[in-house]
Amino acid sequence: MKLQNLSEHKAYLYCECILLFAGIPVLLLWWQLRVDFPFFPVLFGMLLLCGFLGSRDPQVRFTLPKTRPPLGPLLRPLLPRFILVALSLLLITWLLNPELLFKLPREQTRLWLSVMILYPLLSVPPQEWIFRSFFMPRYQRILPKPIHLNIVNTLLFAWAHLFFLNAVAPLLCLPAGWMLADSWQKHKDFRVVCIEHAIYGQLLFSSGAGWYFSSGSLRALESLLEAIL
């Protein structure tokens, strides 16, 4: 049976979803506990794997639609959400470890500026394509109710962040994952979820809570910056 036809079978999609989004993170966690390895090869390896599967699925889109609504009206309703996230991250950082508040912009300004630029370009689009552009249309066949699809997507998005070897990272990803899944359901627009995700990430690293993600994106971006400069 061709791989293209397998995507029509629910049993296969259940197994694929569990293997890709539950099994692989456990394997990576086991590996990370034994050998420290960088974040970006993992992310881009997952992107290639999902891209291969998505290329054989007519429901998965690789390009933006030719007619796209302007971003302004889509992003304006998200402003209260951004403010709430910023205040929540500051409060969480202060409660968990007040010494981390604004630590990155205060102590490593050049790295912080690089993160503000490179994180939205290198880390966000692959994550959003995997978890929204690929995951949502592919697995809506087995999770046809939007609420069920959003819940599973959110839980697996948080589960993937076990890679960072602490409980705070996946817990922070639960509300973030829910908001991103919700935005995808409302707009089906890759641009919107990328911008939203990028702003969450910039707030995260600026507030100090990005320390809980420092074993991945931050360290990789720091190494990239050192290589360039």
Q: Which residues contact 119 (CB under 8 A, 6 or more apart)?
A: 198, 201, 202, 205, 217, 221
- Which pLDDT score is estimated for 224? 52
Tell me if 153 is assigned to some domain: yes
Of the two residues 180 and 226, the one the predictor is more confident about is 180
Tell me if 69 is assigned to some domain: no
Q: Which residues contact 169 (CB under 8 A, 6 or more apart)?
A: 161, 162, 212, 213
Distance CA 170, CA 126 (A): 18
- Which pLDDT score is estimated for 115? 92
- Which pLDDT score is estimated for 61? 85
The conformational region for residue 165 under phi > 0 = left, psi -120 to 50 = alpha, else beta, is: left
Question: What is the DSSP-derived secondary structure letter of residue 67?
Answer: S
Tell me if 71 is assigned to some domain: no
Tell me if 85 is assigned to some domain: yes
Distance CA 99, CA 89 (A): 14
- Which pLDDT score is estimated for 6? 67
Calculate mean pLDDT across residues 102-118.
Answer: 94
Total domains present in the chain: 1
Q: What percent of the chain has pLDDT over 70?
A: 90
- Which pLDDT score is estimated for 216? 47
Q: Which helix (H) or strand (E) holds 92?
A: helix 79-96
Calculate mean pLDDT across residues 53-79.
Answer: 87
Tell me if 106 is assigned to some domain: yes
pLDDT at 227 over 60: no
Domain boundaries, position 137: 3-60+78-228
- Which pLDDT score is estimated for 3? 56
In degrees and rounded to multiples of 5, residue 217 shows phi and psi of -55, -45
Tell me if 73 is assigned to some domain: no
Tell me if 202 is assigned to some domain: yes
The SS3 assignment for 169 reads helix
Residue indicated by tokens 């969480």: 92
* 228 band by pLDDT with thresholds 50, 70 and 90: low
- Which pLDDT score is estimated for 155? 98
Contact between 181 and 204 (Cβ < 8 Å): no
Q: pTM for the complete prediction?
A: 0.89
pLDDT at 55 over 80: yes
Calculate mean pLDDT across residues 156-167.
Answer: 92
Tell me if 167 is assigned to some domain: yes
Of the two residues 93 and 8, the one the predictor is more confident about is 93
Instruction: Dump pLDDT digits (tens) for 169-202.
Output: 999 999 999 999 999 999 999 999 999 999 999 9
**CB atoms closer than 10 angstroms to residue 205:** 25
- Which pLDDT score is estimated for 215? 54
